[in-house]
């Protein structure tokens, strides 16, 4: 399969997902922040980022999907831009923005771009953000260099993404919790899977945690140490290590919210402690870096 063919498949996959998601709730952080996996894994990080956005700032999001984060920055008063490879996703973003534009303090513009072939104007943006996209990119050194070029001196580069591979201890811990807790997989299917895969079951959980083969470019960026590239070219202001397995569990668990939220937060405390002690290895990180 050629690069262009992969690009088209990637765009179609995420565009269809953006359209599906938009039928369930609007592409607006005010709605998305209440989703279980955001409550558990992302809400505090996104709110902290948005608290740094000031009126009139120029911001850019790479891999904006349905545009909710770019829009959230515009709602804070930014002159925001969102880039994505999927025209379907961008149309979802544009349509929703058009419906609420009169109530947005700033502005947002969405445009289709291949992020592996960026050509950004120098010293243009106060903030550039990337959420869950870097690990899909194949031209990482060029992307990081372009971000550095495009930021104004002192500008903020904010990343929330996966760095490195899931290790087997994390996969084993996740497997045990997935087996014990009610998830989207029934207990009958779990026992059948355990009987079928035996000792290979944790390897399948590891592949699931890494979203292996989810899309044509899923994990392509794992071949590049994007965090090392950021550390080489920027001053890292803050680096937050996320828990190893709790975010994954938040996508899988099937319990009422009143029970799921305190349970996941409790698991998260122990998960975070095990990461700090070096027992588990996290892959999720949030980085605040300055030019």
Q: What is the CATH number of the domain that holds 49?
A: 3.40.50.150
Alpha-carbon gap, residue 142 to 69, rounded angstroms = 23
**Measured at the alpha carbon of residue 28, what is the angle toward residues 157 and 61, in degrees to the nearest 5?**
25
Helices assigned H by DSSP within 112-256: 140-150, 168-180, 187-197, 201-209, 226-233, 246-252
Q: Is the predicted pLDDT of residue 8 greater than 70, yes or no?
A: yes
Same domain, 126 and 229: yes
Same domain, 191 and 122: no
Structure confidence by residue, pLDDT tens digits, 268-278: 999 999 999 99
Structure confidence by residue, pLDDT tens digits, 219-242: 777 778 899 999 999 999 999 999
Same domain, 255 and 118: no
How much is the average pLDDT of 102-127?
Answer: 97
Instruction: Specify the pLDDT at position 219.
Output: 75
Q: Is the predicted pLDDT of residue 290 greater than 80, yes or no?
A: yes
Among 11-15, 170-174, 244-248, 270-274, which is the least confidently predicted range? Answer: 170-174
Same domain, 39 and 126: yes
| Bridging pattern class, strands 151-162 and 235-241 | unpaired
DSSP E strand boundaries for the chain: 58-62, 79-84, 107-112, 125-131, 151-162, 235-241, 284-290
- Cβ-contact 93, 71 below 8 angstroms: yes
Residue 289 lies in a domain: no
Residue 41 lies in a domain: yes
Same domain, 252 and 269: yes
Q: Please give the tally of structural domains in the chain.
A: 2
Same domain, 160 and 184: no
Same domain, 190 and 128: no
Same domain, 63 and 110: yes
**Strands laid side by side in the 125-131 sheet:** 107-112, 79-84, 58-62, 125-131, 151-162, 284-290, 235-241
Instruction: Specify the pLDDT at position 185.
Output: 85
**Domain containing 255: what range?**
166-209+244-280
Q: Which two tokens stand for residue 42?
A: 């992302």
Helix (H, G, I), strand (E, B) or coil at 282: coil
Q: How many helices (H) and strands (E) does the chain have?
A: 13, 7
Same domain, 226 and 271: no
Helix (H, G, I), strand (E, B) or coil at 40: helix
Among 3-12, 39-48, 78-87, 207-216, which is the least confidently predicted range? Answer: 207-216
Residue 127 lies in a domain: yes
Same domain, 269 and 136: no
Average pLDDT score over the chain: 92
Q: Is the dihedral of CA 254, 258, 263, 264 positive or negative?
A: positive
Alpha-carbon gap, residue 252 to 185, rounded angstroms = 8
Q: Is the predicted pLDDT of residue 166 greater than 90, yes or no?
A: no
| Bridging pattern class, strands 151-162 and 125-131 | parallel
Instruction: Specify the pLDDT at position 206.
Output: 62
Start-to-end CA distance of the chain, whole Å, equals: 37
Residue 285 lies in a domain: no
Q: Is the predicted pLDDT of residue 87 greater than 80, yes or no?
A: yes
How much is the average pLDDT of 4-22?
Answer: 94
Q: Is the predicted pLDDT of residue 4 greater than 80, yes or no?
A: yes
Same domain, 98 and 29: yes
- Cβ-contact 87, 11 below 8 angstroms: yes
Q: Which two tokens stand for residue 107?
A: 């502005």
**Measured at the alpha carbon of residue 48, what is the angle toward residues 44 and 156, in degrees to the nearest 5?**
135
Residues of the chain above pLDDT 70, percent? 95
Residues of the chain above pLDDT 90, percent? 79
How much is the average pLDDT of 18-37?
Answer: 97
Same domain, 19 and 153: yes
Provide the whole-model pTM.
0.94
Instruction: Specify the pLDDT at position 216.
Output: 85
């Amino acid at each position: 399969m050629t690069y262009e063919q992969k690009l088209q498949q990637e765009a179609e996959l995420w565009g269809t997902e953006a359209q599906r998601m938009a039928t369930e709730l609007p592409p607006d952080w005010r709605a998305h922040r209440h989703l279980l996996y955001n409550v558990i894994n992302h809400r505090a990080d996104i709110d902290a980022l948005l608290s740094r956005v000031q009126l009139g700032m120029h911001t850019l999001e790479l891999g904006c999907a349905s545009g909710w984060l770019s829009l959230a920055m515009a709602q804070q008063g930014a002159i925001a831009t969102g880039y994505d490879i999927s025209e379907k996703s961008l149309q979802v973003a544009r349509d929703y923005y058009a419906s609420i534009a009169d109530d947005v303090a700033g502005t947002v513009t969405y445009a289709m771009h291949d992020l592996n072939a960026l050509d950004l104007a120098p010293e243009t943006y106060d903030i550039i953000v990337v959420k869950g996209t870097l690990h899909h990119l194949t031209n990482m050194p060029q992307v990081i260099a372009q971000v550095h070029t495009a930021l104004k001196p002192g500008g903020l580069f904010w990343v929330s993404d996966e760095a490195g591979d899931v290790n087997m201890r994390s996969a084993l811990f996740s497997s045990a919790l997935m087996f014990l807790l009610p998830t989207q997989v029934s207990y009958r299917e779990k026992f059948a899977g355990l009987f079928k895969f035996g000792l290979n079951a944790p390897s399948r959980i590891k592949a699931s945690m890494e979203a292996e083969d989810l899309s044509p470019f899923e994990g392509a960026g794992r071949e590049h140490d994007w965090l090392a590239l950021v550390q080489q070219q920027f001053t890292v202001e803050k680096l937050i290590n996320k828990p190893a397995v709790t975010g994954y569990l938040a996508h899988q668990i099937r319990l009422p919210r009143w029970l799921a939220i305190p349970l996941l937060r409790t698991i998260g405390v122990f998960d975070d402690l095990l990461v700090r002690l070096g027992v588990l290895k996290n892959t999720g990180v949030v980085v605040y870096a300055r030019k």
